[in-house]
Amino acid sequence: MRSNLQALDGNGNKCVCAPFRGGRTIPAQVHSASIRSRRRFNLDLQHLAGIVGERNAHLLAICNRGLNAGFGDEEIERRILEASGNPPLSVEEVRRAIAKAHVNRDEGSAKHGNTPAADKTADAHKARPAFAPQRGIVRKMIEEGHGTWDDLAALSPVALPDGEDEASRLLRAVTCVRTLYGARDRLCLGDLHSTTVKPREEWVADMIESPLRTWPERMGTNPFTGLVGKTTEGRDSTRCKATVATWRYALLEFDHLPLDDQRAFWIGIIRRHALPVAAITFSGSRSLHGLVRVDAETEAGYSRAWDKLQAFFASPLDPVEERCDTSCRDGSRMTRLPEASNVETGEVQSLLYLA
C-alpha cells in the first residue's frame, strides 16, 4: 500500500506529492496566460466606470479579454463588478456576458475547424489514465483516528460555539455558511428536489428570522449561477450540473460504516492533513457529511478530482462497507444544512468541524 496520498488538483496539473503524514501541496504547473491580454483586460477595467451609457456594449469585449487572459469566470465577474462604477452593473448582466463570451469562443473554434476549448478539456480528460485503486486507505485512517467526538471538534480550525440552545445553533450555522461561501455566491437551500437559488445573505437573513424547526433540511454542495440549465434528463432547472457556478467542494460520506468508524476516519484524515477538509456535519441519522475542497475550474477537472477520491476511498479492492458513496460525485448534489433538523429522525444535523 502506498504511504502517501497525492493532493487533489481539479485541473489535472502535476503536483508536488503530499505526504500522507501532512503538509499542503503546491501545483508544479500553473496556466500562463498572455501578458498582453492581461494588460488589455486591466486597462479595460480602469476605463469601465467612465464609459457612460455604453458599458453593456463594451462588456462582452471585456469578458472576452478576461477569458483570453486565462482568468476564471468567478474572477472575471468579481473584477468587473468592482470596477463597474455607479450605478454598478448587475451580477446577471455580467454573468450573461461571460456566458456569451464562452459561446462566441466555442463557435469561433468550430467555424475554423478547431475543437472547442470545453471539448478539448473533455478529450484530454478521457485520454488520461485512470487513477489506480488503492487498498486499505479507509481502514488505515480508521485505525489511526482513535478519538472521541470532543476530539474531532477540538481539531476544528474555526472555533464553534458550544451549546444546544437556538442562539448557539444559529451562530454555528451562519458561521458555517459564511465561511464556506462568498458574499456573491448563490446557494440552493431546501429539500432533495428544491431548485430555489438565492444570494448567500438572503438565505442567512431567512435563517435568522425563522425558527430553527422551519429551516430547510439541505443545501447545495456548490454555488450555482441562478440561471436555468438542462438536467441530464433534459428538464429545465436552476440546480443541475449545467448551472454549477464554482466546482469548489466534493461531498464525501460513508453510509455503511458505523458512526464511530466514520468519526475515526475523519480524525485520521484531519490529523494527517491528507485532504483539505472544509466542514463535517452529522446528518442526524447514520452518516457524517464531509465537504472536501477541490477548487476545480471545470466540470472535467471536478470529475478528475473525484476519480482520485474514488481510487482511495471507494476502492473495489476494499469491502463494500469501507467505500464512500460514489453517487455524491454529482457537483450539484445537496448536503445537510448544519444545525437544521433531519426530517425523518428529528435529530439535529450538528456541525462538528469547520475550516
* 179-211 tens-digit pLDDT: 999 999 999 999 999 999 999 999 999 999 999
Which three-class secondary structure string do you get for 212-261?
Answer: HHHCCCEEECCCECCCCEECCCCCEECCCHHHECCEEEEEECCCCCCHHH
CA distance 167 to 98: 41
State the average pLDDT over residues 35-48: 82
pLDDT tens per residue, range 213-265: 999 999 999 999 999 999 988 999 999 999 999 999 999 999 999 999 999 99
pLDDT digits (tens, 9 = 90+) for 150-165: 999 999 999 998 999 9
Q: Which residues of 273-284 are buried (b: 16+ CB within 10 A; e: fewer)?
A: bbbbbbbbbbbb
pLDDT on residue 10 = 43
Write out pLDDT tens, residues 45-69.
888 877 655 566 678 889 888 888 8
Q: Quick one: which of 292, 354, 355, 285 has its CA closest to 329?
A: 292
pLDDT of residue 82: 85
All cell numbers assigned to 32: 500562463
Question: Looking at the predicted structure, is the pLDDT value of residue 110 above 70?
Answer: no
Regarding the domain delimited by 137-354, which CATH topology (the fold level of the hierarchy) does it fall under?
A: DNA primase, PRIM domain (3.90.920)
User: What would the pLDDT profile of 67-85 be if each residue is shown by its tens digit?
Assistant: 888 788 888 888 888 888 7
Q: How confident is the model at residue 106 (pLDDT cuts 50, 70, 90)?
A: low
Average pLDDT over residues 13-20: 36
In eight-state DSSP terms, residue 92 is: H
Q: Where are the domains of the chain?
A: 35-114, 137-354
Helix, strand or coil, per DSSP, at residue 178: helix
The rounded mean pLDDT for the chain is: 84
pLDDT band at 31 (very low <50, low <70, confident <90, very high): very low
